[in-house]
Structure 1
C-alpha cells in the first residue's frame, strides 16, 4: 500500500503520477547519447573529410545542442522536489476556490485556481490574473495570494503554466503566451466576474508573460491595468548579467530559443502599469525595472521601489499592498492628475 501511494498520489491532494516527473532524467540520458553520437560522427568526418569540415560540424552540433537545451536551462518546474506531484490548495489557507482545467490555444491542458470573494461582492470587485515566476507551482504562491484576497479585496485567477504543477506539456515561451491567452479567454467567459476590472499581475518570468499579453491588440482594451514585479528586460540581457560576459551582447538573437523581449513591447502598451521593484534583488538587476519604466509610453505608469525587497520576497515589505491599492484607486479615476501619471515612489 505504501509503495502504491508513492507511485500515485491521491487526486484530492491535486497530484499526478510520479512517472511524469521522470522527463528531466530521460532528457539527460538522451542528451548524453546525443553527445556521444556527435563525438563519434566528428571523428568519422575528420578521418574521411578533413579537419575543417569536422570542426564545422562540431561547431554546428554544439550550437544546436545548446539551443535545444535552453528550455532545460531556463525553466525549473521540478524545484523544489515534488512540485510536479503536489500542489498546495487554497483551502489550506482558508480561501474559497474552484479547481479548473482548461485547454490552451494548442489544446494543452492547463491548471487554474479561481479564488472568488464570498457573496455578491465577487461580481463587483476586480479580478487578478496571477502569473507566477519560475520554479515550483502556483500553490507555492498562496501565502501572497492571501494578501491579495484580504488586503485588495480582489478575485484571483491563478494560472499554472504548461509543464508546471498539474498542467500538461513542456515549458516554452510561445506556450506560456498561449496559456496566458487561454486564461484571459476563460475570465472573459465568466458572467460572475467584473469584466471591466481585469488586472494582469506578473512576477519575474510572469512579468514578461504579463507584458506580452497586455501589449496585444486583442487584449489591451480588455485589461484594466498591469502590475509587474521584479521582471527583466529580455532573456539576452539576463544571459549577459548572469554569465558576467559582455561577449554575449554580440550573440545573434536567433540563437536564443526563448527571448521574452519585454523591452521591445513596452512602447506598444497602452494599459496603465505599476512596476514593483525590490532594490535588494540579486537575480534581476533593479535597473531593468527602471529601463522598462522609462520605455513605457502609455497613459499611466508608476514605479514603487522597496529598499529591502529581494527577488522573491518584495511582497513581504511593509506598505506593499497599500501602494498597490493606491495605484488601483488612481487607475479608477477618470482623469488622473499630472502627478499621478508618471510617478516614482520609494519606500524606505
Structure 2
C-alpha cells in the first residue's frame, strides 16, 4: 500500500518532466523511425533501449534532487527530532508553529527584546544555511541579539528540524513569505525596521523574498552572507566537470537562480563575503553585489571568514551595525496582514 502511494506521489513530477521534454521526446521518436526505416528493427530497438535507459536515469535523478540538495540531518542524525532552544544561550523566546501559505506547519523561534525596547527595535528574520536546524545557529543569534539590540525571528524550513513537510525550492520560498506575514500581524513589532538575513542557502531564500514586490515593500534592509548565484553555478564550481556547464536549466529541479533576481532588489543590501570560503566562491558574492539594483548597497569582505564561521570573525557585528545605521533614512511601506500562529 505504501509503495503504491509513493508511486502516485511521483506522477505529478513525471508529468512535469514529460511536459518540459516533449520536444526532445518527439525528436527521439522521429529519429527512431528513421533508423528503423534505414537500418532495420534490430538497430532501431537497440538505440531505443539505450535512449529509454538514459531517460529513466534522468527522471530518477530529477526526482531525487530534493534529497541531493537539502540536508536537514547533516549536523546531527537527530536534527529532525532535537532542536536546541534559545534558552540554551540565555535568550528569551516564543516557541511558534505557523501555517505556511500551502498549509504546511513550520517551526519558528521569536527572540524578543524586553519592553519597551522590543516594540521599537529592528527585527531580523533569520534564514539559516543548509544542513542541520536553526538550533545550530543560536550562538550567532545571541551575538546579533546582544550587539544589535534587535528582535530575531528564526525560521525553520519545511523538512528541517520540527517543521513538517519536505523541503523543496517552492516550499521554502512559501515558508519565508509566511514568516514575514507572521511579523506583519504582530502589533508589537516595528514594521518599518524588518531586516531579512540569509546565509548560504538562506541567502537564496532571502533574495527571493526581497525580489518580490509584495514583500519587498515590508523589508527595511537585506543582509546576505556567503550565498551562491545559482544551483547550476555552484554545482559546476564544486564538481569541476566541464560537461556540467552544458546541462540545461530545466534539468535542475531546484534552481535558486539568485543572480536573475538580485536585479529586482531595491532595499538597502549588505553582502557579507568570507574570503576564505572554500564552498561558495567569493566571486559569486561579488557578482551578486554588482548586479543588485539597490541605491544603497555594500560589499563587506572578511579575509579570514570561512563558509560557516564568518560570523565569528572580528568586526562582524560592528560592521552590520554600521550598515544598519547608514540605512536609517530608508523607510519601507508595509501593508497589513492577518497571519496567526497556531
TM-score range, shorter chain: 0.7 to 0.9
Distance in 2 (alpha carbons) for counterparts of 1:99 and 1:297: 36
1:194 to 187, 190, 193: 190
Match of 1:127 among 108, 116, 123: 123
Counting only pairs closer than 5 Å after superposition, residues 223-262 of structure 1 correspond to structure 2 as 223-262=219-258
2-structure distance, mates of 1:112, 1:277 = 26
Q: TM-score, normalised by structure 2?
A: 0.83
- 1:163 and 2:153 correspond: no
Looking at structure 2, the residues matched to 101 and 122 of structure 1 have their Cα atoms a distance apart, in angstroms, of: 21
Query: CA offsets, 1:123-161, max 9 Å, x none?
Result: 001000000000100011000000000000000000000
Q: Who is 1:60 aligned against?
A: 55
Hey, what does 1:39 align to over in structure 2? none
- Is 1:287 aligned with 2:283? yes
Separation of aligned partners in 2, 1:55 and 1:250: 21
TM-superposed CA distance for 1:49, in Å, is 7.4
- 1:208 is paired with a residue of what secondary structure? helix
Alignment match, 1:301: 297
Q: TM-score, normalised by structure 1?
A: 0.82
Structure 2 CA distance, aligned partners of 1:145 and 1:334? 24
Distance of 1:164 and 1:199 partners within structure 2: 22
Distance in 1, Cα, partners of 2:309 & 2:270: 17
The number of residues matched between the two structures is 293
Gaps of 5+ in 2: 1-5, 11-40, 332-342
SS of residue matched to 1:332: coil
Q: Could you tell me how far apart the structure 1 residues matched to 2:293 and 2:119 are?
A: 32
Question: Of 324, 327, 331, which aligns to 2:323?
Answer: 327
**CA offset digits 1:155-195 (Å, max 9, x no partner):** 00000000000000001000000000000000100001101
CA distance in 2, matches of 1:94, 1:304: 29
Q: Residue 246 of structure 1: CA displacement?
A: 2.4
**Partner residue, 1:94:** 90
Check if 1:273 corresponds to 2:269. yes
Q: Cα RMSD over matched residues?
A: 1.8
Aligned partner (choices 119, 128, 142) of residue 146 of structure 1: 142
Does the Cα contact within 8 Å between 2:220 and 2:330 map onto a contact in 1? Answer: no
Aligned with residue 70 of structure 1, among 65, 72, 76: 65
Structure showing greater relative contact order (alpha-carbon pairs closer than 8 Å, 6 or more residues apart)? 2
Gaps of 5+ in 1: 1-25, 31-45, 336-348
Inter-partner Cα distance in structure 1 for 2:176 and 2:329: 27
Distance in 2, Cα, partners of 1:78 & 1:324: 30
- Corresponding position: 1:81 with 2:77: yes
Query: Post-superposition, which runs of at least 4 consecutive aligned residues in structure 1 deviate over 4 A?
Result: 46-49
